[in-house]
Chain A
């Protein structure tokens, strides 16, 4: 508290109609620190960030930059003031190549190149069109672009979400060095390991107000979780599956049988079964073909080879409707891909009901209402802003995408990274829900980019690497080191020492005895 803060915001408030997204938020960032901004979904993190970076304007509050009151009216003004954000969504214009994108923002090219190399991408061609670059790389490019203009305060929103571990590690390293060089970084993340390794202090938001600023030291997680959740229940453990449950008699034929599935050059020769009543995990590094696998099973893209059998019958999906008719529903990782943002929660949940031609007639409102309500209750969706889905928090939006298929009573749900960028409490609810679904005889295919989720949710784990299925683990053996090794395409049992865990401070001694329940948890 001796140095003058680089950025000092206090009393910030923002209302959307009758909903107060921020009531009294404050944030003070010192030179040379990496400052975590934390809070459950809907606590107002995103809103605060948008206000600080000029994307929206606050209704009240004071923002001081280097002690001077500044009125940040636009992203350009924030930029001039030395504040630069890297949002969760990639910001390069898809139809321009990287170089043109750089020119557009007046970013110096050489420093950008240097940062890109530094961040672990040695072979970037600046002539590549942004559209053709994988998401994970795009996010790193965004970061490099921000770093290249040497901002005083860098704002990173869920920077490591959806990044494969090797890139995430590089990113964290670079962020740490930013702090060391006297600049400041505001770091928004749900991953305690990262925050513990990286940050000096944390500001915690709850319900639109700052409820605490804490120094990051061993054991502070408890306190942060307490602050974030307030009086709410901290955590409900997913009931451990008993041996009896697991040993359910194997059904005569699997719900879904995938054989030699091939999609272009991205996925080849993938075969596995999915049984009723199980949650099968899919683990893969970014861009290993898992997107294509899910899209093919959902009927979004046509596989170029292999077969998919549903209940023993060969199936050909040429449109998602074919998969839906077979009882297979797809929940995409990107919520904006699944939701009509201007429409109500109810209409979004009921959307599949109207899809078929024969259901275009009058809607039976009462019945629809009942179905939708029961789905809303089952997922405990916060419906205070239900008039437009875009006003819900990310976690609640994610719940809506799932609720739709609960309401439609889909037998098989393909969940693609449903917990990306949402808060701990909602994650727990989603884990629980997936287990319940399996308990009711539904089957779930669950891709996750967070390895610790595997043992909480899955019965089996399918590991994909380079477009091929490399291993299928029973859950007992699927501890993080084992999965990580498999995800890198290393054979099971190999004890090679690879420092790929997202936590750079942790010893990569991943050859310890595989104790299932000891996996690091998001909310210890």
Chain B
């Protein structure tokens, strides 16, 4: 289908912008983010200051990590709906076990359900070929159930937030949220993995054409199992970070983040059908959603109207973004 390259001669202005955007899909996202911040500043002059920025980043980070789970699973054509439960479990177990356990052991106990659920997800999707949506929804329900049972056994022991999580979740040093200490290396690792490692390549390739990867010698179940375990472990880490931020362990701690995490990945340009996308877009997607939430909060609308608006904006942004980026 190839042939001659077009010479850079008078192309309509709109098309040129469009092509520029298509080549750099991050640009429209960043523009959108800036626009949102500007609107916010206009509505509440002075709101955008150092503290607000630090706060926004703090709240965007847990969402961005969970959206990273969605990005990676979506690249293979999957999804991980169990991240909310996994995060909640690790947070809750951490908060209750730290009361009478050594921090290291508490950490170990907290991450155990994450690894286990990831393994079950991976085997279910990779070996038994259960659809990821069903598989992760199922393990998510089972996890929630287990957590309820667990809650009764520890109801007497009480809960507390370990200091180091508190520091990591809420602390700010020289204007920078401490959570960045965790997030920056983590994000760099995810970006590097997706772009420059064999595993990352395989995620894209499997999502694009599973048969082709099989013929190239790729064992699907290995990739998928490793993927869902990674995703779950990331969700577990998010849970620990999130409890340091929210400071109130509950049985539905991270649940409200699940669907926004999917939305952040989609807004960030990752295709839910697999094979396309990346993590940098997702991070900006998470920032956009967080700023949007603030924006809707200060509008002082009734909760219902706020949700309607949120949904509409997410739909609109995603549709518009796909139109801009995919030149057809």
Contact = CB atoms under 8 A, between A and B. Distances in A.
Interface of A: 15-21, 23, 42-44, 46-47, 207-208, 298, 300, 319-321, 324-325, 330, 332, 336-343, 347, 350-357, 359-363, 365, 382, 384-385, 391-393, 396, 404
B3 A42 contact: yes
A23 B3 CA distance: 9
29 contacts: A17-B19, A18-B5, A19-B4, A20-B3, A23-B3, A42-B1, A42-B2, A207-B3, A207-B4, A208-B4, A321-B218, A330-B215, A336-B209, A337-B209, A337-B211, A337-B215, A339-B209, A340-B208, A340-B209, A340-B212, A342-B208, A350-B201, A360-B197, A363-B196, A363-B197, A363-B198, A385-B1, A392-B1, A392-B2
A20 B5 contact: yes
A144 B311 CA distance: 48
Nearest to B201: A354
B276 A342 contact: yes
Nearest to B211: A337
Given A42-B3, A46-B1, A363-B196, A321 B217 contact: yes
A255 B163 CA distance: 66
Given A16-B327, A354-B199, 4 more contacts: A320-B217, A338-B215, A392-B2, A393-B1
Contacts of A382: 2
Interface residues of B, number: 33
Contact of B275 (A21, A300, A342, A354): A342
B298 interface: no
A332 B215 contact: yes
Nearest to A347: B201
B49 interface: no
Given A21-B2, A392-B2, A393-B2, A320 B216 contact: yes
A17 B209 CA distance: 23
A120 to B, nearest CB: 31
B308 interface: no
Interchain residue pairs A-B with the least CB separation, the first 10: A354-B198, A340-B208, A355-B217, A321-B217, A360-B199, A324-B217, A360-B198, A351-B216, A352-B216, A385-B2
Contacts of A47: 1
A202 to B, nearest CB: 20
A18 B216 CA distance: 31
B105 to A, nearest CB: 30
A296 to B, nearest CB: 14
A357 B198 CA distance: 9
Contacts of B22: 17
A207 B2 CA distance: 8
B2 A17 contact: no
B31 interface: no
Contact of A384 (B2, B208, B222): B2
A150 to B, nearest CB: 32
Interface of B: 1-6, 19, 22, 192, 196-199, 201-202, 204-205, 208-209, 211-219, 222, 226, 275-276, 327
Main secondary structure of the interface of A (DSSP, over half): mixed
B305 to A, nearest CB: 39
Given A208-B4, A362-B196, A392-B2, A17 B217 contact: no
A347 to B, nearest CB: 6
Contacts of B2: 19, 21, 42, 382, 384-385, 391-393, 396
Nearest to B22: A17
Given A19-B1, A347-B201, A341 B208 contact: yes
A369 to B, nearest CB: 12
A324 B199 CA distance: 19
Contacts of B208: 340-343
B275 to A, nearest CB: 5
A391 B275 CA distance: 16
Nearest to B275: A342
A298 B6 CA distance: 42
A363 to B, nearest CB: 6
Given A19-B2, A357-B222, A347 B212 contact: no
Contacts of B5: 18-20, 384
Nearest to A21: B1
Contact of A343 (B3, B275, B327): B275
Q: Counting chain A CB atoms within 10 Å of each CB, which of B19, B22, B202, B218 scores highest?
A: B218
A19 B1 CA distance: 8
A360 B2 CA distance: 33
A474 B215 CA distance: 31
B209 A341 contact: yes
Nearest to A336: B209
